[in-house]
Amino acid sequence: MDKNCILYLENGEVFEGFSFGFNGEALGEIVFNTSMTGYQEILTDPSYHSQIVLMTYPHIGNYGINDSDNESDSCFAKGLIVREHCDYPSNFTSKQSLDSYLKQNEVVGISGIDTRKLVRIIRGDGSQKCIISNDKDLLRLKDKINKFPIMQGNDLTLSATCKEIYTVAGEEDAKKVFVYDFGCKRNIIQILNQEFGLNVVVGPCDTSPNLIKDINPDGILLSNGPGDPAAAIYAINNIKKLIGYKPIFGICLGHQLLSLALGMETFKLKFGHRGGNHPVMEVESGKVEITSQNHGFAVSNKEIADVVITHINLNDKTVEGIESKKNKCFSVQHHPEASPGPHDSRKYFKKFVETI
């Protein structure tokens, strides 16, 4: 069977493969994820907005797609790259194949790629724009890539957030938390509501601080989301107005936005952190957690008054957590709501609940 599809990278590299999923063209930033499972959660995670995801594990789709693992109501990843995809899944929860799910959600897939070689290119040259296409006119594809915006300086939160405020009722007389939805994963809301019984009010990423004060929550959670945190200037300014008002907990993009609001800086990582096995050390105790991560930007290691760096990534020593006890706020770069096997990081939700 002839390969009928190509992956064309911004640096000019071309990979031939087999088309699966939606029959179309996908354009975005190529990133790789080292997780062995979780492709359904990855596809539906709003943090992957405008990105094409390369799975490093070679066999993808073997347990199919179920009704309970979506992290949002739609697929945000623009494309999926795999070594081999499975047409015939086997799992008691499976409702459909990965191929049919991608067709249904108009996500373009390509298989038969030398994914190890591709990862080495990304690690060497960094994350870059790419296109998956059935058309092999490289001049046309190069022109489309050149016109596609780079991730740095690109605010994507407004296109990943909810449209209006909604409430998820918790236990009677329970505390109330406002969640700033910058592209919030469903599991964050479920943990706050189902595990801790909290009343959760979820609002769009541009909800005004005055409206939040009218809601009068006991705490504020800054969610994950896509894009360059430094480009979301409106969000940074809103958070500045809320620091010190009520306890704040930030996750991933929320961590970066809180850090920027406190006076720190962010930068673009060469190829990002995406996977379920990243070691993070708690500075005070020296304990190491195995974490789930998905981010292409990081907070610069910079001394700021009343702000302590609480966690460090052991792979590249980037900042993984901060805290300001004076302002009753803290954040982590990794995803404590995810379960990469261990539940090492669930304790941060408990810490937030105890704070409020």
Active-site residues: which are they? Answer: 252, 335, 337
Backbone dihedral angles phi then psi of residue 41, each to the nearest 5 degrees: -65, -40
Give the CA distances from residue 347 to residues 221, 277, 330, 350, in Å, rounded to whole numbers and listed in that order: 15, 18, 13, 5
Looking at this protein, which amino acid is placed at residue 165?
Answer: I
Q: Residue 308: what are its φ and ψ, rounded to 5°? A: -115, 135
Task: Give residue for tokens 């890539």.
Answer: 145
Instruction: Give the C-alpha distances (Å, rounded to integers) separating 93 from 65, 90, 217, 348.
Output: 8, 9, 37, 30
Among candidate residues 96, 22, 88, the one with its CA nearest the CA of residue 66: 96
Query: In this structure, are residues 166 and 181 in contact, taking their beta carbons and an 8 Å threshold?
Result: no
